[in-house]
């Protein structure tokens, strides 16, 4: 009998059994995806409405649902550019940001997104909380939820932590990054930025370069890009590419210079030192020599190649300053667009809740 996963997760991590459960679930989902054939790109947007209570990953979203979020974000961006920076859509709603792992961009972006929609926000970080007194992850979240919270944004180093919360809270749960699993809003803002810069995603060749093995950004990018019809190349040292990743519909490459001329976009992933065991590549110098984006490589690329990086960037490792700050880089556009993506996600989940709980007033 499977133990109750809810009882197994505490702040310091999950048991081996829960990890095994997650890996197993991943394999089942992968098999289902492969069996369901090609992506659902091109599904008409007008036929789709948002029906999900939670945003846990891009794996479970259809192309039409992803496009719905991108279009909603584009609308919020249009309104902001027209001077409408304070909207009322979430007035009276309380959004809690529960961050059990460090963050600069995602945390501030979710917080500002909620404020731009007039929500009240609670910002919680693990350091200095009652977790150090032995309170469990779920009890902590339930206590915060009891303050009238209807949306919980959660980041945790354990894959599956947001899924677990979604099974124990009434609030909607938004995954702000769970270990090596997914970072859906980062994947969405990458898609948005590519679509904004190029005009479309379908048909593009996009390389994810670097530490694919430990990157939740890579996983969300793979799901999102393939569903919207892009060709994805996972490029990096063999030790940093997960085995059998081709089954997700991506090409695998170990020679960056060879694939570079074919790429329309490159997403440069950070080496996730905090999640790695040592010895996966000889040295940083060698890594950046083989896989770093620099001025020389830029000359061998398509003239309008789009350079993305999720941040934080390590200048001189994944890319040189001339690339990070050059005309092909959209790194700061990604940060700007992240705000509108998070507004769209908060708004759509709120709309779903209203649809579920709204009882029309009886006519007199």
Burial of 349 (0-12, 13-18, 19+ CB in 10 A): buried
Q: Does 159 bind ligand MLT (CB under 6 A)?
A: no
Q: Which residue has the tokens 């940083």?
A: 284
* Helices and strands, number each (H, E), in the chain: 13, 9
Please state, in angstroms and as integers, the Cα–Cα distance from residue 49 to each residue in 45, 69, 171, 244, 273, following that order: 8, 10, 20, 34, 40
Closest approach, Cβ 148 to ligand MLT, in A, equals 28
Smallest distance from the beta carbon of 269 to ligand MLT, in angstroms? 7
Query: Residue 219 interacts with ligand MLT (CB under 6 A)?
Result: no
Q: Is 267 in the site for ligand MLT (CB under 6 A)?
A: no
Binding mask 186-215 for ligand MLT (x = CB under 6 A): x-----------------------------
137/184 with CB nearer ligand MLT: 184
Query: Are the C-beta atoms of residues 344 and 76 closer than 8 Å to each other?
Result: yes
Cβ-based nearer residue to ligand MLT, 103 or 351: 103
**Which of 175/226 has CB closer to ligand MLT?**
175
Under the binding rule (CB under 6 A), the answer on residue 177 touching ligand MLT is yes
Coil/strand/helix, residue 293: strand
Asked if 227 touches ligand MLT (CB under 6 A), the answer is no
Say if CB 195 and CB 167 are below 8 A apart. Answer: no
CB of 123 to ligand MLT, least distance (A): 17
Residue 270 near ligand MLT by CB under 6 A = yes
Q: Does 310 bind ligand MLT (CB under 6 A)?
A: yes
Question: Which uninterrupted H or E stretch holds 113?
Answer: helix 105-116
Across 204-224, b (16+ Cβ under 10 Å) vs e yields bbbbbbbbbbbbbbbbbbbbb
Mask: binding to ligand MLT, 54-93, rule CB under 6 A, as x and -? ----------------------------------------
Nearer to ligand MLT, 183 or 195 (CB): 183
Q: Which residues contact 161 (CB under 8 A, 6 or more apart)?
A: 9, 14, 100, 137, 154, 178, 179
DSSP class of 263: -
For the CB of residue 122, give the shortest distance to ligand MLT in the complex, in Å: 21
Shortest Cβ 41–ligand MLT spacing (Å): 25
Residue 216 in contact with ligand MLT, rule: CB under 6 A: yes
Q: Which residues bind ligand MLT (CB under 6 A)?
A: 177, 183, 186, 216-217, 270, 310
């Amino acid at each position: 009998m499977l133990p109750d996963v809810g009882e197994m997760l505490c702040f310091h991590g999950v048991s081996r059994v829960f990890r095994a459960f997650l890996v197993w679930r991943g394999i089942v989902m992968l098999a289902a995806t492969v069996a369901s054939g090609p992506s659902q790109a091109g599904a008409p947007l007008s036929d789709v409405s948002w029906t999900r209570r939670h945003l846990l990953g891009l794996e479970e979203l259809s192309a039409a649902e992803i496009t719905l979020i991108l279009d909603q974000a584009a609308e919020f961006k249009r309104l902001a550019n027209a001077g409408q920076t304070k909207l009322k859509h979430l007035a009276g709603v309380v959004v809690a940001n529960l961050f059990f792992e460090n963050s600069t961009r995602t945390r501030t972006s979710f917080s500002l997104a909620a404020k731009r929609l007039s929500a009240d926000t609670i910002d919680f970080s693990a350091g200095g909380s009652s977790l150090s007194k032995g309170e469990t992850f779920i009890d902590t979240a339930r206590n915060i939820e009891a303050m009238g919270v209807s949306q919980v944004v959660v980041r945790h180093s354990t894959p599956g932590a947001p899924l677990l919360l979604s099974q124990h809270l009434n609030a909607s749960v938004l995954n702000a990054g769970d270990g090596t699993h997914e970072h859906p809003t980062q994947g969405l803002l990458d898609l948005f930025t590519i679509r904004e810069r190029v005009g479309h995603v379908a048909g593009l060749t996009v390389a994810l370069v670097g530490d694919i093995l430990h990157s939740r950004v890579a996983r969300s990018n793979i799901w999102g890009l393939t569903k919207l019809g892009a060709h994805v190349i996972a490029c990096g040292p063999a030790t940093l590419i997960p085995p059998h990743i081709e089954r997700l519909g991506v090409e695998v490459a170990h020679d960056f210079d060879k694939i570079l001329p074919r790429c329309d976009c490159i997403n440069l992933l950070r080496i996730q030192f905090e999640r790695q065991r040592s010895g996966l590549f000889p040295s940083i110098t060698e890594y950046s020599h083989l896989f770093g984006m620099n001025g020389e490589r830029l000359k061998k690329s398509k003239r309008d190649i789009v350079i993305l990086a999720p941040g934080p960037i390590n200048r001189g490792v994944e890319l040189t300053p001339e690339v990070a700050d050059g005309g092909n880089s959209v790194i700061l556009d990604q940060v700007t667009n992240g705000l509108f993506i998070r507004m769209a996600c908060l708004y759509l989940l709120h709309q779903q809740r209203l649809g579920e709980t709204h009882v029309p007033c009886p006519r007199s």
